Amino acid sequence: MPDSPAARGWSLLAQRRDDIIAGWTTEMATALAGRMTSGELERDARDMFDALSAAGAHEARGINDSAFAELRTLLSDVARTRARRGFTPTETAVSVFALKSAVLTVLQREADLSLYEFYAEFSRLVDDLGLFMLETYAQVRESVISEQADALLELSTPVVKLWDGIVSLPLVGTLDSARTQVVMEKLLQTLVETGSEHAIIDITGVSAVDTQVAQHLLKTVMAARLLGAECIISGIRPQIAQTVVALGIEFGDISTKATLADALLLALRRSGLDIVARPGQQ
């Protein structure tokens, strides 16, 4: 056993540790073209190599073996960092695969053909590790993207206070299911937080209203009513009005106004206020 190709291979790797780490770092630096300092890369390489050597010497069965636990954690961390810093999948994967050429260089210098058997196993192992790392990377990338999407959604749905107890929600662009839900939640939350009893949902900027959008609007109004607030829908353009009628959508007893101004006046009056012209100033 001590003389098996595997044992000799791992022992050789341990001996040539510094060369391998140096070679690996250089390969990574080339691929990452200055995105990370060689100091950072060297530290990553050293940590990963040491964890790999320690695990490899154990004759473990595949990377899910407990011997590889530390290495997996390390790879996950590296993948996470790369993902959060916006590295591409290739830039991330090369961090692991570059190890292969560094090791191959060292093995070739030995002129010992039996080490090929070891390299074949080693290469398979590195492939598995690389794939594992990419899995983590992919998961983190997805969550980063969805966080950004949420943030964008937040920014693009402002609820504006028009007067004491009156807020307005200008909807712009296309309304998909996810967006409308976020918008609905934000409006209701704002009504409660500001103690507003009136909400004006302005759809002047909405390109098209289909049955689904109309249903979402209706649900929003019903939910607001359950909270103790009333909604007015404004900015209904002629085309939208025709679409709504053609689709058979009933707005029922929900007030609708052509313009935001009309809606504001209605909301003010419902609040017990009114707008009057001051004498001698027209």
Partner 1 sequence: MDRIPILRIGDILLVSIQVDLQDQLAVTLQEDLAERIVTTGCSGVLLDISGLEIVDSFIGRMISTTAAVSRVLDAETVVVGMRPAVAITLVELGLSLDGVRTALDVDRGMALLQQARQADASESAQADG
Partner 2 sequence: MTDSVSVESEEVRRIATDSDVVLVRQSVRSVAVLAKLSLVEQTKLVTAASELARNTLVYGGGGMVRIAMISSAGRLGVRATFVDEGPGIEDVHLALTDGWTTGIGMGLGLSGAKRLVDEFDIVSGPGRGTCVSIVKWTR
Tell me: does residue 26 bind partner 2 (CB under 8 A). no
Binding site partner of 227, from partner 1, partner 2, none, Cβ cut-off 5-8 A by kind = partner 1
Can you tell me which of 58, 124, 161, 225 binds partner 1, judged by CB under 8 A?
225
Nearer to partner 2, 136 or 256 (CB): 136
Q: Which residues contact 260 (CB under 8 A, 6 or more apart)?
A: 168, 170, 200, 202, 204, 234, 235
Q: Which does 38 bind (CB under 5 to 8 A by kind): partner 1, partner 2, none?
A: none
Window of 37-45, 110-118, 134-142, 193-201 that interacts with partner 2 by CB under 8 A: 134-142
Structure tokens at 241: 């009005």
Q: What is the dihedral of CA 219, 225, 231, 233, to 10 degrees?
A: 30
Distance CA 207, CA 257 (A): 17
Answer for which of 60, 223, 265, 273 binds partner 1 (CB under 8 A) is 223
Nearest to 157 by CA among 174, 175, 170: 170
Q: By C-beta, is 188 or 232 nearer to partner 1? A: 188
Show contacts with partner 1 in window 181-200 (CB under 8 A): 184-185, 188-189, 191-192, 195-197
Residue with the two structure tokens 């689709």: 247
CA nearest neighbour of 95 among 137, 139, 59: 137
Choose the stretch contacting partner 2; rule: CB under 8 A; options: 9-17, 140-148, 196-204, 234-242: 140-148
- Binding of residue 139 to partner 2 (CB under 8 A): yes
The pair of three-digit structure tokens given for residue 164, joined into one six-digit string: 């004491």
CA distance 220 to 214: 10
Residue 197 interacting entry, from partner 2, partner 1, none, C-beta within 5 to 8 Å by type:
partner 1
**Positions in 236-275 near partner 2 (CB under 8 A):** none
Q: Is 241 in the site for partner 1 (CB under 8 A)?
A: no
- Kindly state the DSSP code that residue 57 receives in the 8-state scheme: T
Measured CA angle at 101 (ends 98, 106), to 5 deg: 130
Cα–Cα distance, 11 to 59 (Å, whole number): 12
Straight-line distance from the first to the last Cα atom of the chain, in angstroms, rounded to the nearest whole number = 103
Q: Does 160 bind partner 2 (CB under 8 A)?
A: no
Span from 7-15, 49-57, 100-108, 138-146 in contact with partner 2 (CB under 8 A): 138-146
What number of chain residues touch partner 1 (CB under 8 A)?
Answer: 18
CB 97, CB 130: distance < 8 Å: yes
Percent helix / strand / coil, the chain, rounded to 5: 65, 10, 25
Q: Is 138 in the site for partner 2 (CB under 8 A)?
A: yes
Residue 108 interacts with, from partner 1, partner 2, none (CB under 5-8 Å by kind)? none
What's the angle, vertex CA 46, arms to CA 43 and CA 48, rounded to 5? 105
Q: Does 152 bind partner 2 (CB under 8 A)?
A: no
For strand 198-206 and strand 230-234, is the pairing parallel, antiparallel, or unpaired? Answer: parallel
Least separation in angstroms between CB 61 and partner 1: 48
List contacts with partner 2 (CB under 8 A).
138-139, 142-143, 146, 178, 181, 185
Judged by the rule CB under 8 A, the positions of this chain that interact with partner 1 are: 184-185, 188-189, 191-192, 195-197, 219, 222-229
